[in-house]
Structure 1
C-alpha cells in the first residue's frame, strides 16, 4: 500500500512537472513570437520612412527644376514658400490634435506659451526663409544633381557650428570626413568638356556656401532651443517655428511680389508640378523628424547617399544630364564621407 501510494505520488509529480515545462515552453514561444512580431513591425516602419525620405529627397531638386518654364519661374517663389510653411504648420496641428485626443492637454503639449519661449523662434525662422529662397535661385547656376552634391556642404557647416555654439567635440574621423566631403564635392563638379575647370560657376558656389552656413546655423540653433526644454512636445515647438516662418514669408511676399500677387493672383503660374513640389517640401521636413523618431541617423545618411544617385539617374532621362565619371566618383566619395561622419561621433 505504502509503495503504491509513493508510486502514485511520483507519477502525479512527474505529470505536474511535464505540465509546467509545457506551459513554460508555450509561454517562451509566445514571448519569442511577440518579440519577432515587434521586430517585424519596427523593421517595416523603418523601411517605410527610409523609402519615403529617399524618394522625397531625390525628387526635391527635380521638382524645382521641372517647375520652371523657359528657364524661369512663372509662379511666385515667396508664395510657394509660404504654402510650405502653412502645410507644415497644419501637419503639426494635426499631430497635436491626435495627441490631445489620446492623452489630453498637458503642460508639455499645450499651445499656450510665454513670450520668453516664443521669442527664440524668429531667428531660425528668418534664417530658413533666406535659405529656402536661395534654393530656388541657385538653379540658375546648377542642375538638379549638382544641387544634391553641393547641398552636402551643410554637413561641414553644421559640424563646425556644433563645435563653436554647442561646444560638442568632433572626432578625428569626423574631421577627416569633412576633408573627404570637400574633395567629393569638387570631384563631382569637375568638367572635362569645357575650359572651365568646375561645372558650377563662382556665383553658384557662393550661393551653396551661404545656404550651407544658413542651414547649419539654423539647425544648430533650433536644436539648442528644443533641448533647452526637452519635455516640451516637439509638435508644439515645430508649430511656433512654422508660425514665424509663415509670418516672415508673408513679409517677403509684400516686399518682393506684392504687385504681382495683387494683379495676377496668389496662385498665378501654379501647375500640377508646382503643387507636388510644395507638398514635397512640406513632407520632407516631416519625414526627417519621423526618421529621427522611428529609425536613426544612419538611415538618414543612407537616404542622402541614395538620393544623390537617384537624382542623377532621373535627370539623365528628364533633363539630358550627362553622368560623367567625375560625378560618379565624387558621389561615391561623398557617400563614404557622409557615412564616416555619422559613425565617427564621439561616444
Structure 2
C-alpha cells in the first residue's frame, strides 16, 4: 500500500509540474506579442512603471482571493495563515529589490545596444541561472546536463541571429558589463526566490506569493515616484491604457504566478527551458501576426534547443532518477 500511495503522489506531482510548466510556456510566448501590440506609432502611450505596479497588484489580489477560498473550505491553519513574523517576512524584499535594479538597468543598457543585440545578450541569463542554481541551492547537475545547458544558450542565440547580428561583438564595454550584471541579478533573484519558497515546503504557495507581490508593489511604487511621478500626477495613473494594455497586464500577472508555481513544484532549470521554448513559439506566432520570416538560423537554433531538452531529461544525476 505505501508504494502505491507513493506512486500516486509522484504521478500527481508530475502532472502538476507539467500543467504549470505548460501554462508558463504558453503565457510567456504571448508576452512579447502583447507588448508589441500595446505600442502606438512605435512607442508606449502608457506609463510602463504603472503597468508593472498594476501587474504586482493584480498578482497580490489573485493570491488573496485564492487564500480566501482556501480559508473558507479548509479553515485557517499554520500553513495557510498570513504570518507577519519578521523572520518569515524579512526574506521577501530581497528578490523585489534585485528585480527592481535589473529592470532599471534594462532602460540604460539600450543606450549601448539595440533590441536584437539585447535579446542575444539576454541569453547570458541561462548560464548565470545554472551556475547560481549549483552554488546557492547546492543542486548537482550532471556533465550531460551542463552540456545541455550550454547547448540551450547556443541554440537560443543561434535562433535569434540575423544579418545584422555581427554588431553584437562591437558592443561597448559598458553594455557588456550591464548585460552580465543583469544576468547575474536575474539568475540570483530567481534562485533566491526558489530557495525561500522551498524553505518551507508545506507553506501554502499563495501566502508566499502574497508577500513576494506586496514588496513588488512597494518597490514598483518607488520606481513610479522616481521615473514617472510628474506624468502620473498630470495625466493620471491609467493614462494611455487600452484593451491590449489590460490584456498584457493580465498576461504578466498570470505568468508571474506560473513562475512562482514552477519554482515551488519544479525548479529554476525548468523555468529556463520553459521560457526558452516560449521564445521559439513567439517567433512562430509572429510569422502569422507580423509577417515575420523564419531564417535558417532559427531552424538550426530550434533543433539545438530540442536536443538540449532531450539531453537534460536523460542526463539527470543518479540521485535524481
TM-score by length of 1: 0.75
Structure 2 residue runs without a partner (length 5+): 1-10
Who wins on radius of gyration, i.e. which is larger? 1
2:238 aligned residue (267, 271, 274): 267
* 1:62 CA drift (Å): 1.2
Q: CA deviation at 1:312?
A: 0.9
Q: Which residue of 2 aligns with 1:105?
A: 76
Q: CA deviation at 1:213?
A: 2.2
Alignment of 1:10-21 (within 5 A): none
The partner residue of 2:96 within 125, 128, 132 is 125
Name the SS for the 2:192 alignment partner: helix
Please state how far the C-alpha of 1:44 moved relative to its aligned partner. Answer: 9.0
TM-score (norm 2): 0.80
Matched, 1:220 2:182: no
Task: Give the one of 118, 126, 132 matched to 1:155.
Answer: 126
- Cα distance in 2 for partners of 1:342, 1:301 equals 14
**Aligned alpha-carbon RMSD (Å):** 3.5
Conserved 8 A contact 2:34-2:248: yes
Taking a change above 3 Å as real, the CA distance of residues 58 and 154 of structure 1, as seen in their structure-2 partners, is same
- The yes-or-no answer on 1:202 pairing with 2:202 is no
Contact 1:152–1:181 (CA under 8 A) maintained in structure 2: no
- 1:238-286 CA distances to partner (integer Å, 9 max, x unpaired)? 1111100000000110111000000011011111111111100001122
SS, match of residue 107 in structure 1: coil
When residues 289 and 126 of structure 1 are mapped into structure 2, their CA distance, relative to the original with a 3 A threshold, is: closer
1:309 matched to 2:280: yes
SS in structure 1 of the partner of residue 79 of structure 2: coil
* Residue 238 (1) aligns with residue 212 (2): no
Does the aligned pair in 1 maintain the 2:129–2:269 contact within 8 Å?
Answer: no
Counterpart residue number, 2:8: none
How many Å apart are 1:78 and its aligned residue? 0.7
Residues 45 and 313 (structure 1), Cα distance of their counterparts in 2 relative to 1, 3 Å cut: same
How much has 1:202 moved relative to structure 2? 3.2
Match of 2:155 in 1: 184
Partner of 1:16: none
How far did 1:342 drift?
4.8
The 1:202/1:181 distance shift into structure 2, 3 A limit, reads farther
Matching residue of 1:337 = 308
Question: Residue 54 of structure 2 corresponds to which residue in structure 1?
Answer: 83
Kindly tell me: are residues 63 and 288 of structure 1, through their superposed partners in 2, closer, same or farther at Cα, counting changes over 3 Å? same
Superposed counterparts of 1:137-152, under 5 Å: 141-142=114-115, 147=119
Is the counterpart of residue 73 in structure 1 residue 44 in structure 2? yes
C-alpha displacement of 1:138: 7.4
- Matched position secondary structure for 1:245: helix
Of 68-77 and 85-94, the range deviating more from structure 2: 68-77
